[in-house]
A and B are shown apart, each in its own frame.
Chain A
Amino acid sequence: MNPHHSPFKHQHIAIIGLGRMGIAHAALLNTIARAKLVGFCDLSRRLGRQARGMGFRDVPFYTDVERLLDETQPDGVFICTPPHTHLPIARQCVPRVEGVFVEKPLAQSLAAAQEMVALVEGRGLVHAVGYHYAYVPIFQRAGELLGQGVIGGPTEVRASMFLTQVMGPKRASWWYDPAKAGGGVVISITSHLLALLQEYFGAVAWAEAQTRRLHSKLVEDEATIRLGFASDLQAVVETSWSVPGYERSAIEIGIEGENGTLTVTDGEIRLSLQQATSGFPAGESHVPVSDVPDPAEFELGGPGFWAEDADLIACLGDAAERAPRVTWHQALATQAVLDAVYGSAERVEKVGLDG
Chain B
Amino acid sequence: MAELAGWILNADGASTDELRRGLRTGADAVMGTYRPELLGALRQLRREFDFEVYPVVPNAPAYVRDLADLGMMGAALKRLRRLPPAGWLRLAAYGLRNVRGLLAQDFAGMLGVMVLMELPIFSPFQPRVIFLHAQMTDLMLACGNAAGFRAFADLVRDYGAEPGLETRNFGHLVAKLGEWMVDVPVIAAPFNLRGYGMRPSQAACEALLDQERTTVAAKDVLASGAVTGSEAAEYVRMHSLSSMVLEPDNAAGLAAVWRGE
A interface residue numbers (CB < 8 A to B): 1, 20, 23-24, 26-28, 30-31, 46, 49-50, 52-56, 165, 170-171, 173, 175, 247-248, 267-268, 286, 288-291, 296-301
Contacts and interface: CB of A to CB of B under 8 A. Distances in A.
A186 to B, nearest CB: 19
A299 B169 contact: yes
A28 B142 contact: yes
A81 B183 CA distance: 38
Nearest to A20: B64
11 contacts: A1-B175, A30-B143, A49-B105, A53-B110, A54-B143, A55-B143, A170-B68, A286-B225, A290-B194, A290-B224, A298-B142
Contacts of A27: 139, 142-143
A171 B71 contact: yes
Contacts of A170: 68-69
Given A288-B226, A290-B226, 8 more contacts: A52-B104, A52-B105, A53-B101, A170-B68, A248-B61, A290-B192, A290-B194, A290-B197
A298 B172 contact: yes
A291 B199 contact: no
A104 to B, nearest CB: 17
Nearest to B168: A299
Interface in B74-121: 74, 101, 104-110
A31 to B, nearest CB: 5
Contacts of B227: 290
A56 B70 contact: no
A141 B128 CA distance: 43
Contacts of B144: 30, 55
B169 A53 contact: no
B160 interface: no
A296 B195 CA distance: 13
A171 B70 contact: yes
A57 to B, nearest CB: 9
Contacts of A165: 65
B199 A298 contact: yes
Contact of B140 (A55, A171, A247, A290): A55
Between B13, B69, B192, the greatest number of chain A beta carbons within 10 A of the residue's beta carbon is seen for B69
B148 interface: yes
Q: Which 8 A-B pairs have CB atoms at the shortest separation, nearest pair first?
A: A290-B196, A27-B142, A55-B145, A55-B143, A290-B223, A49-B105, A53-B106, A288-B226
Contacts of B192: 290
B21 interface: no
A56 B196 contact: no
B225 A54 contact: no
Contact of B105 (A50, A175, A267, A298): A50
B178 interface: no
A173 B140 CA distance: 27
B20 interface: no
B162 interface: no
A286 B101 CA distance: 51
Nearest to A169: B69
B105 A297 contact: no
B176 interface: yes
Between A24, A27, A28, the greatest number of chain B beta carbons within 10 A of the residue's beta carbon is seen for A27
A55 B199 contact: no
A291 B227 CA distance: 10
Contact of B142 (A31, A248, A267, A289): A31
Contacts of A55: 107, 140, 143-145, 147-148
A194 B226 CA distance: 29
B226 A300 contact: no
Contacts of B68: 170-171, 173, 175
B197 A299 contact: yes
A289 B224 contact: yes
A165 B69 CA distance: 9
A298 B139 contact: no
Contacts of B135: 300-301
B138 interface: yes
